[in-house]
Protein backbone atom coordinates (compact mmCIF):
# COMPACT_ATOMS: atom_id res chain seq x y z
CA UNK A 1 0.00 0.00 0.00
CA UNK A 2 1.31 3.40 -0.91
CA UNK A 3 1.73 6.34 1.46
CA UNK A 4 -1.01 8.13 -0.47
CA UNK A 5 -3.45 5.24 0.03
CA UNK A 6 -2.65 4.99 3.76
CA UNK A 7 -3.09 8.76 4.04
CA UNK A 8 -6.52 8.49 2.40
CA UNK A 9 -7.54 5.77 4.89
CA UNK A 10 -6.37 7.94 7.78
CA UNK A 11 -8.48 10.83 6.44
CA UNK A 12 -11.54 8.57 6.18
CA UNK A 13 -11.07 7.39 9.77
CA UNK A 14 -10.38 10.92 11.06
CA UNK A 15 -13.56 12.30 9.45
CA UNK A 16 -15.59 9.42 10.91
CA UNK A 17 -14.16 10.07 14.39
CA UNK A 18 -15.09 13.76 14.15
CA UNK A 19 -18.72 12.81 13.45
CA UNK A 20 -18.83 10.02 16.05
CA UNK A 21 -17.08 11.44 19.09
CA UNK A 22 -18.85 9.06 21.47
CA UNK A 23 -16.46 6.39 20.15
CA UNK A 24 -13.11 7.29 21.71
CA UNK A 25 -9.95 5.32 21.06
CA UNK A 26 -10.31 1.92 19.49
CA UNK A 27 -10.11 1.27 15.77
CA UNK A 28 -12.18 2.45 12.83
CA UNK A 29 -12.83 -0.39 10.38
CA UNK A 30 -12.70 0.41 6.66
CA UNK A 31 -13.69 -1.83 3.75
CA UNK A 32 -13.29 -0.64 0.15
CA UNK A 33 -12.89 2.99 1.20
CA UNK A 34 -15.97 3.09 3.46
CA UNK A 35 -16.21 2.96 7.24
CA UNK A 36 -18.41 0.07 8.30
CA UNK A 37 -17.65 -0.15 11.99
CA UNK A 38 -15.72 0.71 15.11
CA UNK A 39 -14.35 -1.47 17.91
CA UNK A 40 -12.83 -0.40 21.20
CA UNK A 41 -9.73 -2.52 20.44
CA UNK A 42 -8.15 -4.53 17.64
CA UNK A 43 -9.72 -7.94 18.08
CA UNK A 44 -9.53 -11.40 16.58
CA UNK A 45 -9.01 -11.06 12.81
CA UNK A 46 -11.39 -13.98 12.17
CA UNK A 47 -14.24 -11.56 12.90
CA UNK A 48 -13.32 -9.56 9.77
CA UNK A 49 -12.92 -10.41 6.11
CA UNK A 50 -9.51 -10.28 4.43
CA UNK A 51 -8.70 -6.82 3.11
CA UNK A 52 -10.34 -4.85 5.92
CA UNK A 53 -8.29 -2.01 7.38
CA UNK A 54 -8.31 -1.00 11.03
CA UNK A 55 -7.00 2.46 11.95
CA UNK A 56 -6.32 3.57 15.50
CA UNK A 57 -6.34 7.14 16.85
CA UNK A 58 -2.57 7.46 16.45
CA UNK A 59 -2.77 6.71 12.72
CA UNK A 60 -1.47 3.15 12.89
CA UNK A 61 -2.97 1.05 10.11
CA UNK A 62 -3.53 -2.70 10.14
CA UNK A 63 -4.88 -4.97 7.42
CA UNK A 64 -6.69 -8.27 7.90
CA UNK A 65 -4.92 -10.95 5.84
CA UNK A 66 -5.23 -14.62 5.03
CA UNK A 67 -8.34 -16.68 5.53
CA UNK A 68 -11.47 -16.09 3.46
CA UNK A 69 -14.73 -14.16 3.43
CA UNK A 70 -16.67 -16.99 5.09
CA UNK A 71 -14.28 -17.95 7.91
CA UNK A 72 -12.76 -14.49 8.35
CA UNK A 73 -9.19 -13.32 8.11
CA UNK A 74 -6.30 -15.23 9.66
CA UNK A 75 -4.36 -12.33 11.20
CA UNK A 76 -3.80 -8.59 11.44
CA UNK A 77 -0.66 -7.25 9.77
CA UNK A 78 0.82 -3.80 10.24
CA UNK A 79 0.07 -1.87 7.04
CA UNK A 80 1.83 1.26 8.30
CA UNK A 81 3.21 2.07 11.72
CA UNK A 82 2.03 5.66 11.88
CA UNK A 83 2.96 9.13 10.65
Query: How confident is residue 57, by pLDDT bands cut at 50, 70 and 90?
Result: very high
The region, left, alpha or beta by phi > 0 then psi within -120 to 50, assigned to residue 32 is left
pLDDT score of 81 more than 90? no
74 closest CA partner among 15, 82, 66: 66
pTM recorded for the entire structure: 0.91
| Contact present, 44 and 76 (Cβ < 8 Å) | no
DSSP 68: B
Amino acid sequence: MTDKEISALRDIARRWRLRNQEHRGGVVLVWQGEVYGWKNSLRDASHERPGVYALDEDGHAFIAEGGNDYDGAKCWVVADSGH
